[in-house]
Amino acid sequence: MKKNIVLFVLFVLPIVAYLFFASGVNSFTKLPTITPKIADLGNWKSLKGEKVTLNDKITILGFSGSEILKNRGNFFNLNEKIYQRYNGFKDLQFVVVCPLGTENDAQKIVESLGAFTDVSGWHFVFAAPEEIKVFYDQLHLKGKLDEHLGTSNVYIVDKERNLRGRKDKEEYKEGYNTFHPSELSNEMLDDFKIILYEYRAALKKNHNATKEL
C-alpha cells in the first residue's frame, strides 16, 4: 500500500498538476475590457502606403517611439514568443504606431524580422506626434508614453476595438512588457489564449467554426 502511494506521489500527481495548470486558461471564458471602443487608426498609412484598421481583427497594438532601433529587441521578443506561434490566423494582426520620420528605421526592423519570419501580419503605421498623443490618451491607460512617444508595452484589442486585460486589483494588467520575454510567455500568452477561446466558442455556438481563429 505504501509503495503504491509513493508511486502515485512521484509519478501520477506531477502529471495531474501539469495538466491542471496547462489547461488553466480554459477555466476563464472572458477577458475583461479595460477600455471599450477605442478609436480606429484613421488615415494613417503603413510602410506599403496602405490604410490599416482595427475593425474585425484581433490586434496586438504597440507604440514604437522615435527610438525604434534602440528598442528593436522588444520586437524580436514579441515576434518569437507570440507572433511566430499565431501568425497563421487571418484574423490576427500586429500593429505598431510610429512617429513620422521613422519609416526607414521601421523598414530595417521588418527586414530583420523577415529574414526568418513571414512578416505579412506586421503593420507599422505612421502619424504625427500630436496625433499619436491624442490616440494614446483616448485609451485611458494608467501607463504613459515616454518622451519619445514609445512604450515597451503592447496591448490586446479585440475585433470590436475593445482593449482587453486584467482588472483584478491584485494582478491588474492593461499591457504586456515586451522587454521581458517571460511576461510574454506567461501573462500575455495566457490572456491571448482566452481571447482566442472566446471567439472559437462564439463561432462554435453559431455553428460557424473556422480555421481562421
The three-state (H, E, C) secondary structure of the chain, written as one string: CHHHHHHHHHHHHHHHHHHHHHCHHHHCCCCCEEECCCCCCCCCEECCCCECCCCCCEEEEEEECCCCCCCHHHHHHHHHHHHHHHCCCCCEEEEEEEECCCHHHHHHHHHHHHCCCCHHHEEEEEECHHHHHHHHHCCCCCCCCCCCCEEEEEEEECCCCCEECECCHHHCECCEECCCHHHHHHHHHHHHHHHHHHHHHHHHHCCCCCCCC
pLDDT of residue 20: 40
pLDDT at 27: 43
Closest CA to 148 of 133, 126, 163, 137: 133
- In whole angstroms, what is the distance from residue 27 CA to residue 48 CA? 41
**What is the per-residue pLDDT for 169?**
85
User: End-to-end CA distance of the chain, in Å?
Assistant: 48
Tell me the C-alpha to C-alpha distance, in Å, between residue 104 and each of 51, 98, 158, 206. 18, 11, 29, 45
Rounded to 5°, the CA angle 147-153-158 comes to 125
pLDDT in tens, 42-71: 899 999 999 999 999 999 999 999 999 999
For the stretch 67-122, pLDDT in tens is 999 999 999 999 999 999 998 888 999 999 999 999 999 999 999 999 999 999 99
Q: Under CATH, to which class is 31-210 assigned?
A: alpha beta
By percentage, how much of the chain surpasses pLDDT 70?
A: 82
Residue 195 has pLDDT above 60, yes or no: yes
pLDDT band at 212 (very low <50, low <70, confident <90, very high): low
- C-alpha cell read off for 53: 484598421
Of 151 and 203, more confident: 151
Give the whole-angstrom CA distance, residue 188 versus residue 90.
20
